[in-house]
Structures are given as C-alpha cells and as structure tokens.
Amino acid sequence: MLSTGLIVLVASLYLGGLFLLAFVSDRRAERGAASFVSSPIVYTLSLAVYCTSWTFYGAVGSAARSGLEYLTIYLGPTFVLMGWWFLLRKLVRISKAQKITSIADFISARYGKSALLSALVTVIALIGVTPYIALQLKAVAASFDALGAAQTWVPHTVGDRGIFADTGFWVAVCMATFVILFGTRNVGADERHPGVVAAIAFESIVKLLSLGAIAVFAVYGLNDGVRDLFDTAKWHQGVKNLYAFSEGFEPRWLATTFLSAAAIICLPRQFQVAVVENSEERHLATAAWLFPLYMLLVSLFVIPIAISGMVHLPETDNPDLYVLKVPLSAGQGGLALLAFIGGLSAATSMVIVASIALSIMISNHLVTPLLLRLPFFTGPGSGDFSRLLIIVRRLSIVAILTLGFSYYHLTGTTNPLASIGLISFAGVAQFLPALIGGIYWEGGTKAGATTGLIAGFLLWIYTLLVPSFASSGWAFIGLVQTGPFSIELLKPDALFGLSEWDPLVHGLFWSFSINVLCYVLVSLSTSQLPLERLQSILFVDAFNSRRQGVESGLQRSATSEDLFQLTQRILGRDRAARIFQSYARKQGRADQLPTPDPRFIAYIERQLASGVGAASARTLVSRVAKGESISLEAVIDILDETQEAIRYSHELERKSHELEETAEQLRQANEQLTRLDKMKDDFLSRVSHELRTPMTSIRSFSEILVSQQGLDQQQSNRFLGIIQDESVRLTRLLDEILDLSQMEDGQANWDFQDVDALAITADAIETMRGLASDRNVELINNLGDGSLPVIADADRLKQVFINLISNAIKYNNSDAPKVWIELVETDARDGAAIRVRDNGPGIPPEDRSALFSKFSRGWNARSREQAGAGLGLAISKQIMQNLGGDLYLVHDNDAGACFVVVMKKAAAEAAADISPKSLQA
C-alpha cells in the first residue's frame, strides 16, 4: 500500500498540470496564435475520451469474466470511424451550417426546431449518463482506496461513509472546478474549448502509456515474454476462456458491438468532441485510421494484464482492479501509482466533457426556454443575457456532478463497471433512430421522433435501469422478482416470457425495437409542418448546395436595430458587432447594419442558436421578426420534389448527350487531322518524287552530253529532246503549285469575259478524246445544241473541265468505261451547271470530306499507279470559286463519281447561291 498523502500529492500535481495546460491553451487561442490543438492528431486523441474508467479498468475485468467479449467495445467505434465519409462527415457538415451545440440541439433542429423534443432528449441524456458519471466516480474512489487504504475496498459500504469521507466526493469537486473554469468561458456553445481539448488529448496519451506500461510489466516483469506468459497460465481455466468464445455468444456480441457503435455518436460527450469541437472536416480522415489504431493498442494491452491478474491474484479480488493490483502484488508501488494516474485520466476526461455537453443541453433546452417566458429576462430593460447563460451552465455542471455522485453514493452498486457502462450505452442509443432517420429520410416527422424516443426510453428504464437498481438492493426488488401486480409475464428482465435471453440483449431488443417501430409508423401517418419540412431538406440534402438556400424562403421582416439588440443580449456586444460587420461587408454595405432580408434573419437565428439552441433561437427571433410564412416559391421548391428530380434528370441527360456529341466531334476531328497529316506527308513525298524524276533525267542526260564528245548528232538531238520535255514537265508541276498558292492568296490574274460554257466544255471534250481512245473509254456529250453564256475566264474554265474529264478517264476501271458530260437544270435564276460523271469506282466515303484539298487523291486506293500529285481538284475548286461559282461532288451517285460545275450566267449581277441538294437530279 502507498501512503494516502503521496497519492493525494501526485494526483494534485497531475490535476494541477492539467489546469496549467488548459490555461496556456486557452490563452494562446485568445491571442490568435497557432495552436497544436487544431491538429488532426489532437482531434483524434480527444475522441479517445471514449476510453473511460470502464475501458481502463472495466475492460480488464470484462476480459477476465467474459473472455473476448471485451473486444466488442472497441469494434463498434472502429466501424463508425472507418466509415466516416458516410455518417460523421454529414453530421459535421450539418452542425457547422446550423450552428449546432449538442445532440439535443441537432435532433431538435432537424424536426422543426422543437423545444419539446430538445427538452426530451436532454432529460433522456441526463438520466442515461448519470450512471456513467457514477461509474467514473466509483472507479476513481475504488482505485484510490485499493491503492492507499488500510483495508480492502468493499463496494456495499460506500453508502455507509460520510460524504466528506468519501473519495468520490472530492473527485467530483475537483472535476466540477475544472469544468467551470475551462468549459464555460464563452456563451457560444458551438465554439471550441481549446483548453479542454488540449487536456483531454493529453489525458488520452497518459491513459495509453500507463496501460501499456502495466501490460509490458505483466509480459516482461512477471514473465519472460509472451510465450512464457501463456505457458505459465495454461492450467488456469479463466485464461483458457480469455481467448475462447462461449456458447451462444452471438446475440450479446452483436448487441454490445451495436451499442458501442451507437455510443460513439449518441453519447453527449462523444457528439461534443466528434462534431461540435471539430474544426476541420478533413481531420476525420486522419481519425479514421488513427483512432482504430488507438483502440487496437488498448485492446492488446488488456490481455496480458487480465492473464496476470487471474494467475497471480486471489480469485476473490475484483477483476476491475487488476490494473492496480498486478503491480502492487509485485511490490511495484510506482507502477501502481502510474496506473492510478491513468485511471484518473480516464475518469476525469469523461466527466469533464460529459459535464460540458450536458450543461449546454440543460442551459439551452431546459432552463433558457423557461427564462424566456419571463419578461424580466427578455423585456426592453433587460441586460446582457449572455452572463446569465454562463451562470446557468456553471450551476448545471454542479447539478450534474451532484446527481452523479448521489447515484454512486446512495446505490453503492456492486455491478461490474462494464455492466453499468452498457446500461448507459443502451439509454443513449435511443437517440439513434431519430438521428439517423433525420439525416437520411426526409419523411421522418417530429411526432414520430418524439413518440419513438418516449417509448424506447420508458422501456429502457423498465427493462434495464430498474433491474440494475434491484440488483444493488436499492429499489424495485419485488417488481423485478414477481412483476407488476404479480404478473410474471411483465417482469422487467423477462418481458413477455423471454426469460432465457441475456439481460442486456433483452432490454436492448424491446427498447430499441419499439423506438424504431413507433418512429417509422407515426412518421408515415403524420404530416410535417412547413418549417419542419424545410429543415428536413437542409439536413438530408446537406451536401446539395442548390437546396441549402431554401431557408431564405421563410419570409420575415425585422429592423436591423432590433436584431442587433437581440444578438448582443444573447451573445454579448463584441461578438454581435463582429457578426453584423462581417455580414455588412458581405452585402457590400459601408455601415455596420446589414439589410435585414430573410436570408440575414435566418443567419442571425443560426448565430443565436450557437448560444441558446435552435428552438430558443427561433422563439427569440420570432419576437422581433414579423410575418413568418413560407413563400410560394419556397413551397414549390420544397414540395414539388418530383418535378425537380425530373428536371434535374433531364438536365443531366442533356449534358450527357452534349458530352457524347462533343466527344464524337472530337473523335471525327482527330481522325480528320490524322488523315490530313497522312495526306500532307504523302503529298510532300509525291511532289518530291515528281520533282526528282525530271531533275534526275535532266542531270543524267546533261552529264552524258558533256562527258561523251563522240556522240553523233542524232543521239545528241534525242538527249536534248528528253531534257527539254523533262524541263517542261518540271516547269508545269512548279507552275501548278505556284498557281494554286496564288489563287488561295487572291493574287492570281483573271480575264473575266462573257463566254459560251457549252462551247468551252465541248472543246475540252475533244481535247480529251485522244486519251479516251487510248484507254477505250466512251465519252458521251449530252450538252445538246445552243449556247450557255457565262461570266468566266475561258482558259481557266477549260482547265477545270479538262481536269475533271481526265480524272474520269484515267481512274475508270470498269469493264465498259463511260464518261457523261451533261447540262443540268437548276432552280437558281442566275446560275448554270454542267455535270461530269462516270461509271468507275467512285470516291471512297472516307476521302470525300477532304477531296478538294491539295493533299487529296481520292482514287489512289484503287489506281495508285496512275495517281498524280493531288493538285488537280484543289486547283479546279479554287478556279470555280474565284469565277463566282463552285465545284461539288454529288455524294449519292449510284455508281462512279459525279462532279457538278456551277457557273454564273452572263446576265446575273451576283454569284448564284446553289446548294448541292438542288443539283441532285
């Protein structure tokens, strides 16, 4: 045993250190200095407030009694944190937008800012958490007595002690002092408490290190490693059960895993640290892996301590105190003192945060609504209400700890720590249907949530809390033994004959099932008020920015002066001034009074909710804002969801179709660019070849003439003739390239005259008859008699027809090749057209779009050996456009290629606008 004075001194120094850490953190935050409190690691460590005395002491006791069942307490929170993207992220997003202060405020705000509902949640939370606070006081008092008292602690003697002789009383006093000093500094309950968060994070480290130190001592101090630890304990039946599953374990495992998962959200303290104290949504991503790691380490430390306690300590020892008794039994007083500090950290962190959360709930949802009914506090002459709120919260903290101490001192329960903790978990789990349904189901109503909470809470009291009182011998003993009015079918621990069920599974089944059933059925059979409907949209569609603006549909009017006076009375003058100045700048106003439009009034209501809760804030704003109603536009936006969904679906479909069309156009353009690039390379290669061939001939024959002096005159003349022909060919090719370039640049010379198009075409036909005869192609002139006066350059126009007829002859590979030259009737008054068509292979579809470019050779795939440089059609197209006409390819010709030459009649004053469709006949 250690001396009481030493224990008190070490505990006092530790708590003093916490006070100092909290004080420094608060001061740094007030100065605006960068703080480690805002880091994701500190946020994760603050979540470890979940690990209370139950976890520090009770997990070892639970492992010794029930084996691996203790793991379920860690599995539930792990699942919730790993799935943070779906639940916790949404809770944080909603809470920041709505200025939520607590879980009671959250549920109340979702269901139309109901004051009745928030008060109901507060009462349930207070009753449900009181046994949990008593558990912490019990654990600290028990560990203190076990560590320093002369006699072994006997649970049932707690109530026999005087209050001032009870260790739990002084623990409660210290905790109340800490919470009052650092948990009620600001009236804004949605504001963070940096001092408290820093202290809680530090205590989480202390808990882990102290529990780890005991575990290491159990493995390497009492044994020679892990193998020796298990070998030494082979004979012990309790150790064998430690890593085995008991028969029929599944229902209780499922129940405890579910309760622990619900607790990480529904416990007021967990909602406070996980949601209200969250400063950055992205911190959840770090907590998603770091918090499960913390849980894993704690669960691993439990096993060696439990084994050592079962092996080295008497069977009569309380397993919940193995953490202390294992080092004490080995004479390690310093290590036992470290374990005591770890347990003190676990208890104080829980009580501190739970007291803050519950005091805010009591102040905002029980006391403030009553005070707001009194003109003394809200009349024109009333002063700063913010000071009164802080006083109410401090008194609430004293009341909470007094209630927890009274439960602990009066009941003196002998129930294990884990049993007490699970009863509290089942109580706060009653919030889960209204909470989850509220953020995922717009149809959930206030009536459904209220009915479900009341029914589930009453059954929780009847099936779990009442048997707990009876087992401690404090009350309800006869009721539990025989049932009400001696009706055994209604016994609290065997309701409707379910006597074979585990007590926890039994109580959770009835309370939670009735809760969910009432919530769903009543919600389906009742309707929502307009404000409730509006809030359901804001909560369910928290990530939909389009629907978040619907709150401005609440049409209210008020003066800026009235709103400012109201805000400063609740939040204080300084904070009110900052709020109004910030919003005025947002509206672009030079003064400090924003325009009091509906959106600004809704914003002020949210700011007030940070101090007094959503329900009370709505009551206060309704006193200065007149004409509260939902506008027609908001009603349409809220109620006509089907049409909105249809419009949204159509919009998505339209955009999807546009994206598909754009993608197809890009694909076609890419293919076209690829073809053009290929044609360019091919063109350059062919032009290079065409230029190289005559130049090679000229060079070769010139060298012969220069080097061989004995050539006769006939050979010299033949060689000179070849040189001349190749020079003409080279010149013609260069002229074509230059001619096309000049036409494209508008620099070509044109000789416009009134000419006969039929005569020019007939002349071109006769010019090509020799080529046609050589290739056995029949030229058919269907131009008829008469004349066709047009405005053109005769030579250029003839060049076009020669090129078209030449192509039709050269690339026609049919068995009986024919070429038709025909006059076409058009609808254009001032236009004339002549068609050149053949029965050859035609133009491949993939080549038609680029046919008239200077890189194109539409027939080359079939007649590559006859292909030219690909300039003829490009030149012809340029000629006709410069002549005021055009050159088209008719795409739907049955066989072969069909080109139409459009010309401007001599009598016309402007070029004809003739489309290819008018020339199909």
pLDDT digits (tens, 9 = 90+) for 636-647: 454 444 445 556
Mean pLDDT, range 192-200, rounded to an integer: 80
Distance of alpha carbon 213 from alpha carbon 221, whole angstroms: 10
Residue bearing the bigger pLDDT, 247 or 500? 500
Please choose, from the candidates 573, 636, 127, the residue with its C-alpha nearest in 3D space to the C-alpha of residue 383: 573
Q: Distance of CA 134 to CAs 102, 413, 856, 913, Å?
A: 22, 10, 92, 96
Lowest mean pLDDT across 167-171, 731-735, 881-885? 731-735
Match 């001939």 to its residue by tokens: 697
Residue bearing the bigger pLDDT, 377 or 871? 871
CB 187 within 8 A of CB 389: yes
Q: State residue 857's pLDDT score.
A: 55
Strand partners, 899: 836, 889
Please choose, from the candidates 905, 907, 901, the residue with its C-alpha nearest in 3D space to the C-alpha of residue 886: 901
The answer on pLDDT for 389 being more than 90 is no
- pLDDT for 199-231, tens place per residue? 889 999 999 999 999 999 999 988 888 888 888
Please choose, from the candidates 54, 47, 45, 22, the residue with its C-alpha nearest in 3D space to the C-alpha of residue 129: 54
Share of the chain above pLDDT 90, in %: 17
Mean pLDDT, range 485-493, rounded to an integer: 82
CB 159 within 8 A of CB 435: no
Highest mean pLDDT among 69-78, 164-173, 676-685: 69-78
Distance of alpha carbon 179 from alpha carbon 187, whole angstroms: 14
Please choose, from the candidates 857, 804, 841, 897, the residue with its C-alpha nearest in 3D space to the C-alpha of residue 675: 857
Task: Copy the structure tokens of residue 93.
Answer: 């997003």
- pLDDT for 890-920, tens place per residue? 876 667 889 999 988 886 544 444 444 444 4
The residues near 719 (Cβ < 8 Å, ≥ 6 apart) are 701, 704, 705, 711
Q: State residue 375's pLDDT score.
A: 67
The answer on pLDDT for 380 being more than 70 is no
Mean pLDDT, range 884-892, rounded to an integer: 82
The answer on pLDDT for 456 being more than 90 is yes
Mean pLDDT, range 755-783, rounded to an integer: 89
Q: Is 278 exposed, middle or buried (0-12, 13-18, 19+ CB in 10 A)?
A: buried
Q: Is 820 exposed, middle or buried (0-12, 13-18, 19+ CB in 10 A)?
A: middle
Residue bearing the bigger pLDDT, 354 or 29? 354
- pLDDT for 418-445, tens place per residue? 567 788 889 999 999 999 999 999 999 9
Q: State residue 294's pLDDT score.
A: 93
Could you give the angle at the alpha carbon of 615 between the alpha carbons of 609 and 616, nearest 5°? 70
Sheet strands side by side (includes 886-889): 778-782, 818-824, 831-838, 898-904, 886-889
The answer on pLDDT for 416 being more than 70 is no
The residues near 42 (Cβ < 8 Å, ≥ 6 apart) are 36, 197, 198, 201
Lowest mean pLDDT across 548-557, 828-837, 860-869? 860-869
The answer on pLDDT for 86 being more than 80 is yes
- pLDDT for 805-856, tens place per residue? 988 888 888 888 999 999 887 766 677 899 999 988 888 877 777 777 765 5
CB 538 within 8 A of CB 547: yes
Q: State residue 432's pLDDT score.
A: 95
Distance of alpha carbon 144 from alpha carbon 343, whole angstroms: 10
Mean pLDDT, the chain, whole residue set? 79
Could you give the angle at the alpha carbon of 787 between the alpha carbons of 784 and 792, nearest 5°? 125
Q: State residue 430's pLDDT score.
A: 94
The answer on pLDDT for 367 being more than 90 is no
Please choose, from the candidates 276, 304, 296, 355, the residue with its C-alpha nearest in 3D space to the C-alpha of residue 77: 296
Share of the chain above pLDDT 70, in %: 79
Distance of alpha carbon 654 from alpha carbon 414, whole angstroms: 69
Residue bearing the bigger pLDDT, 416 or 812? 812
The answer on pLDDT for 151 being more than 50 is no
Residue bearing the bigger pLDDT, 606 or 742? 606
Residue bearing the bigger pLDDT, 417 or 387? 387
The full DSSP string for 316-358 is TS-GGGHHHHHHHHTT-HHHHHHHHHHHHHHHHHHHHHHHHHH
Highest mean pLDDT among 511-515, 548-552, 758-762, 795-799: 511-515
Distance of alpha carbon 114 from alpha carbon 119, whole angstroms: 9
Match 């006939």 to its residue by tokens: 714
Q: Is 416 exposed, middle or buried (0-12, 13-18, 19+ CB in 10 A)?
A: buried
Distance of alpha carbon 488 from alpha carbon 477, whole angstroms: 14
CB 9 within 8 A of CB 165: no
